[in-house]
A = this chain, B = another copy of it.
Amino acid sequence: MELEEKFVNRENIYDGKVLNVVKDTVLLPNGKEAVREFCLHIGAVAVLPLLDDGTVIMERQFRYAHGDVLLEIPAGKLDFPDEDKLLAAKRELREETGALAKRWTDLGMLVPSPAIISEKIQLFLAEGITFTETEPDEDEFIDVERIPLSELYGMAIRGEIPDAKTQVCVLRAWAVKNGLK
């Protein structure tokens, strides 16, 4: 079946501080027109930093859109559209946790919400970690703690890690470290 939708025109709805909302008219495969409203996103990286003792550097952060504190791995947006994903991941990890990593493993790409945001998140496993100083944003409130990967894996399996990038990275990193294929 022909599935592709073709661009007809774009209306810029909102160009905010973090959100950039557009409304495109598209041509459906059956020749009819339809409207696609979505958020443009520059792209992001997320890192599961695994220490030699088997613990992971995790963050707890209040997510206003959900009214709740979520347990997440370090992550952040790209600084510019074609930024090297690995360099961005190294920057975000260092700024948020003060960690430097010797070994990096690509854990693939995640599309968190395909109908609503163009966001793609590149996932990494970081190992061989040493620490330097953090560069916290004074308006960012993040609790950093260490949790064993084995404990995080159990939490993911029991459905106790709601954040998508975090749950995927934990399940994938566990598979990598345990030789699952």
| Interface size bracket, A side | 35 or more
Bound form: Cα–Cα A114–B4 in Å = 29
Q: Which of A102-124 contact B (CB under 8 A)?
A: 106-120, 123
Complex CA gap A154/B113 in Å reads 22
Best-surrounded residue of A26, A62, A123 (most CB of chain B within 10 A): A62
Q: Does A69 contact B (CB under 8 A)?
A: yes
A168/B164 in contact, CB under 8 A? yes
> Which of A50-58, A84-92, A155-163 is found at the contact surface with chain B?
A155-163
In the assembled complex, A132 has its CB within 8 A of some CB on chain B:
no
Q: Decide if A177 is an interface residue (CB 8 Å cutoff).
A: no
A139 CB contacts on chain B under 8 angstroms: 28, 30, 32, 34
CB-based nearest B residue for A35: B17
Within 8 A of B (CB), among A61-75: 61-66, 69-70, 72
CA distance A16 to B13 in the complex (A): 10
Interface on chain A toward B: helix, strand, loop, or mixed SS?
Answer: mixed
Specify which of B4, B116, B120 is in contact with A19 (CB 8 Å cutoff).
B116
- Given the interface pairs A16-B23, A65-B118, the reply to whether A70 lies near B3 with Cβ below 8 Å is no
By a beta-carbon cutoff of 8 Å, the part of chain A in contact with chain B is 1-5, 13-14, 16-19, 21, 23-24, 26, 28-30, 32, 34-39, 41, 60-66, 69-70, 72, 106-120, 123, 138-139, 141-143, 154, 156-160, 162-165, 167-168, 171-172, 175, 180-181
Known pairs A13-B14, A65-B118, A113-B113. 12 more at Cβ < 8 A? Answer: A2-B141, A3-B143, A5-B62, A5-B64, A18-B115, A30-B139, A39-B65, A108-B160, A110-B167, A112-B113, A154-B181, A157-B175
